[in-house]
Amino acid sequence: MSAPAAVEFRVGLSSCGVASGAGAVRDALAQEAASGATLKGVGCNGMCHSEPIVQVLEGGRPVAMYGNVTPAVAQQIARRHLGKPGGKDPSDHLLDPLSGPAGAYLGKQRRIVLENCGEIDPGRIDDYIARGGYQALTRCLNEGQRLSPDDVIAAVTESGLRGRGGAGFPTGRKWRVARSQPGTTRYVVCNGDEGDPGAFMDRLVLEADPHRVLEGLAIAAYAVGASEGFLYIRAEYPLALRHVRQAIAQAEEMGFLGRDIHGSGFSLKLLVREGAGAFVCGEETALIQSLEGHRGMPKLRPPYPVERGFRGAPTVINNVETLAAVPWILRHGAAEFASLGTEKSKGTKVFALAGKIRRGGLIEVPMGITLREIVEEIGGGVGDGRKFKAVQIGGPSGGCIPASMAGTPVDYDAIPATGAIMGSGGLVVLDDTDCMVDIARFFLRFTQAESCGECTFCRVGTKRMLEILDRLCAGHGAAGDLETLEELATYVGQASLCGLGQSAPNPVLTTIRYFREEYEAHIHEKRCPALSCPALVRYRVSDRCTGCTLCSQVCPVSAIEERPGEQHEIDSSLCTRCGECRHTCPEEAIEVVSPC
């Protein structure tokens, strides 16, 4: 490519950016900035709430960042930074990374795993190398300052890195056990089967910085003595798959992967395997079954995969985020990583912040930060007029932590003490319009559908629990339901083989623990305090109605008769409480009420 031009425009082109229209923004920039500027497609910088994002660099220095850019605004940005006359001033779209909302979002973050996201073109290995990429792997392999496999394991152990997939097992220890196994054949696997609903850390890292994950996996292979490895990635992530495949081809061409890497005698062949749509395959023994061509049914451990895994050989399975931290640790030293975080939880954690929050996206924070800091400061709190109610952390294996406990620090000890789990990093913020019984039901429906069916309690127990929750939300709860739920939850947790079943009751148990009164209202009063469960609410038109007939026009089930100029009425026997009339009414005249 040509030498860097004076002005460079960067457009975030990850899935979320593209879904927000970043493709059209890039095209507009390309047209306007055809000459005199470099245009670069980069990964997402995590500010999903402001996508599409355009960053401007002059002489290699960042000078401006714009958010919520449309093609028209992109033209204005290009004209302004290229000194072309005319056009509107795009400064309304400026995001100041040092102050204001963008500053609050970025200020508390500490970027290790995400350090390159939004900075480099994921399709160019040179970009990665220019930011220190493959230095850590090179140090392992090149004569002179060479790090032995034992040195690598020692460094990773010393850094305190723990598995970011959810369980938090110390990575260094895992590698050591695998290395100490007899035999010469070993495998490494990158687990990119990110299945938790509400979590997208791995997608973004794989899309925005794929070489980093390859380098981490190559270092893992070197440390444990593997010459073959797999990246198991969800098929729902087509862009991540494309970027990873492209990255492997580039790394092979440059000699960072393949036979006898850099003349060191170390060889590594990496292959991509697409998930076929089974949440349980995120569990490592199920993942191995899937790699071997079978149904993803977990196996009893021990033996652990590090002892006997893929093809019966010792197999190290690490999560995307875990591997992405490894090159940084080797480059900056274990001590620097360990200086971040708390006593038992070192380093940083990436979270996917979503739900009822002003600024959602991907964030990387030091361990030990409180949930409140994440929700209120980074995320800017919930929307106007709404109340922060709870955070759902850890997806279907996790739980809901109420706002009153938002002072809880994020680490591998404090979060489990609440009954939730750290999980892989899904963090969904809930406000006062979210019904906790419905949230519990949502997750249970998920785990019930994803249960592989091997263990009776997981297969049947979750089904029975779901039936009770369905009944509660439909207004058919009965005395004793809550006790039965709790009893079943205990059995399911105790009598399941793998993490899916063991943790499936967590969303139910935590919501019962912290929001028992909501369950009781559903059971005894047939009332949904959040006014969310459709069967337990009624829609009504207040006297603010001006008779504009808009509600009648949008009602999908014709439950509102058109009466121009008069106060409208909703036929409750037809109404499905879809909310369409409420969102349409310019007078906010449609009220949701409890029937009793």
Partner 1 sequence: VLGSVAGLQARPKEDGAPKAASPPIDLTFVDELVRREGRSPEAAIPILQAIQEHYRYLPDEAMRRVCELTEITPAQIAGTSSFYTRFRRSPVGKHIVRVCHGTACHVAGAGQINEELRRALNIPEGADTDDAREFTVEEVACLGCCSLAPVVMVDERTSGKLTRATARGVLTAAQKGGRG
Q: Which residues bind partner 1 (CB under 8 A)?
A: 15-16, 18-20, 23-24, 27, 48-49, 51, 194-200, 203-204, 235-238, 273-279, 290-296, 352-356, 360-361, 392, 395, 426, 428, 430, 434, 439, 442-443, 446, 450, 452, 554, 556, 578-580, 583
Q: Spell out the SS3 assignment of 507-545.
A: HHHHHHHHCHHHHHHHHHHCCCCCCCCHHHCEEEECCCC
Shortest Cβ 265–partner 1 spacing (Å): 28
Instruction: Choose between 20 and 418: whose C-beta lies nearer to partner 1.
Output: 20
Both structure tokens of 29: 């920039």
Contact 475, 526 (CB under 8 A): yes
Instruction: Choose between 445 and 513: whose C-beta lies nearer to partner 1.
Output: 445
Instruction: Choose between 337 and 446: whose C-beta lies nearer to partner 1.
Output: 446
Instruction: Choose between 36 and 383: whose C-beta lies nearer to partner 1.
Output: 383
Instruction: Choose between 204 and 489: whose C-beta lies nearer to partner 1.
Output: 204
Compute CA distances 179 → 46, 226, 289, 316, 429, whole Å: 36, 9, 22, 9, 41
The one-letter code for the residue type at 333 is G
Q: Cα–Cα distance between 450 and 500 in angstroms, integer?
A: 9
Backbone φ and ψ for 145, nearest 5 degrees, come out as: -85, 20
Both structure tokens of 24: 């059209």
Q: Cα–Cα distance between 569 and 590 in angstroms, integer?
A: 10
The distance from CA 130 to its chain's CA centroid, rounded to whole angstroms, is 27
Shortest Cβ 68–partner 1 spacing (Å): 12
Instruction: Choose between 192 and 347: whose C-beta lies nearer to partner 1.
Output: 192
Instruction: Choose between 125 and 199: whose C-beta lies nearer to partner 1.
Output: 199
Shortest Cβ 195–partner 1 spacing (Å): 6
Instruction: Choose between 108 and 131: whose C-beta lies nearer to partner 1.
Output: 108
Shortest Cβ 443–partner 1 spacing (Å): 8
Instruction: Choose between 284 and 434: whose C-beta lies nearer to partner 1.
Output: 434
Quote the crossing angle between the two packed helices 436-450 and 506-514, to the nearest 10°. Answer: 170
**Beta strand residue intervals within 197-291, DSSP E:** 228-233, 269-274
Backbone φ and ψ for 532, nearest 5 degrees, come out as: -115, -40
Shortest Cβ 448–partner 1 spacing (Å): 13
Contact 175, 326 (CB under 8 A): no
Contact 493, 553 (CB under 8 A): no
The one-letter code for the residue type at 205 is V
Instruction: Choose between 125 and 452: whose C-beta lies nearer to partner 1.
Output: 452
Shortest Cβ 428–partner 1 spacing (Å): 5
Going by their DSSP bridges, the two strands 54-58 and 187-192 should be labelled as unpaired
Q: Cα–Cα distance between 317 and 332 in angstroms, integer?
A: 24
Q: Is the dihedral of CA 386, 390, 394, 399 positive or negative?
A: negative
Instruction: Choose between 137 and 270: whose C-beta lies nearer to partner 1.
Output: 270
Shortest Cβ 177–partner 1 spacing (Å): 25
Quote the crossing angle between the two packed helices 238-253 and 210-224, to the nearest 10°. Answer: 60
Contact 547, 565 (CB under 8 A): yes
Backbone φ and ψ for 421, nearest 5 degrees, come out as: -135, 160
Shortest Cβ 507–partner 1 spacing (Å): 10
Shortest Cβ 113–partner 1 spacing (Å): 16
Shortest Cβ 396–partner 1 spacing (Å): 9
Task: Please work out, in degrees rounded to the nearest 5, the angle formed at the alpha carbon of residue 24 by the alpha carbons of 21 and 28.
Answer: 140
Beta bridge partners, 8, equal 38, 57
Instruction: Choose between 20 and 318: whose C-beta lies nearer to partner 1.
Output: 20
Shortest Cβ 46–partner 1 spacing (Å): 10
Compute CA distances 97 → 26, 50, 100, 105, 106, whole Å: 22, 12, 8, 8, 7
Shortest Cβ 450–partner 1 spacing (Å): 8
Task: Please work out, in degrees rounded to the nearest 5, the angle formed at the alpha carbon of residue 113 by the alpha carbons of 1 and 94.
Answer: 70
